Amino acid sequence: MSLPCKRDIQHHVDLIACSILPNKPAYRMNTEETMEIQRHVTELMSNGFIRESLSPCVVPALLVLKNEGGMHMCVDSRAINKIIIMYRYLIPRLEDTPDKLYGSAVFSKIDLQSGYYKFE
C-alpha cells in the first residue's frame, strides 16, 4: 500500500481569508529525540505512507512516550486548525455508503447521485 501518484489537481485545505500562517518553530529536543523523529520520518517515507509536503505552512512534530516504553511521533496541528474553514457538510465516507444502502434492491444513476448529497 502506498500513496497515489501526483495528479493535476492536488488536495487543498481552505483557510480563513487574510489569516497569518502559524509557522511555529520546532520543539526543543535532545539528540536522541531528534534521531528518533528522523527515523520515524525516514521509515514512513520509505514505506510510501508520507511524502514531502508542498504546503507553505509548518506544523511541529513531537515525541510522546508509549505505555510499553517506546516513543510515538505526534504532529501538533492545533494552530493550523484554528484558521481552517470548517464546512457544515462533510464528504461522505465510502465505507459508510453500503451500510446506508442496506436493504435496497434496485438503483438508478439518479438515485445514487442524489443519495450522495443526502448522506451526512
Give the chain as a DSSP string. --PPPP-SS-----B-TTPPP--PPPPP--HHHHHHHHHHHHHHHHHTS------S----EEEEE-TTS-EEEEE--HHHHTTBPPPSSPPPPTTTHHHHTTT-----HHHHHHHHHH--
| Over residues 30-54, mean pLDDT | 87
Residue 63 near residue 73, CB atoms below 8 Å = yes
Confidence label for 120 from pLDDT (cuts 50, 70 and 90)? very low
**In this predicted model, what pLDDT tens digit does every residue of 18-34 receive, in sequence order?**
888 888 777 888 898 88
> Domain locations in the chain?
1-86, 91-120
Query: Looking at the domain covering 1-86, what would its CATH class be?
Result: alpha beta
Please report, rounded to a whole number, the percentage of residues in the chain having pLDDT higher than 70: 65
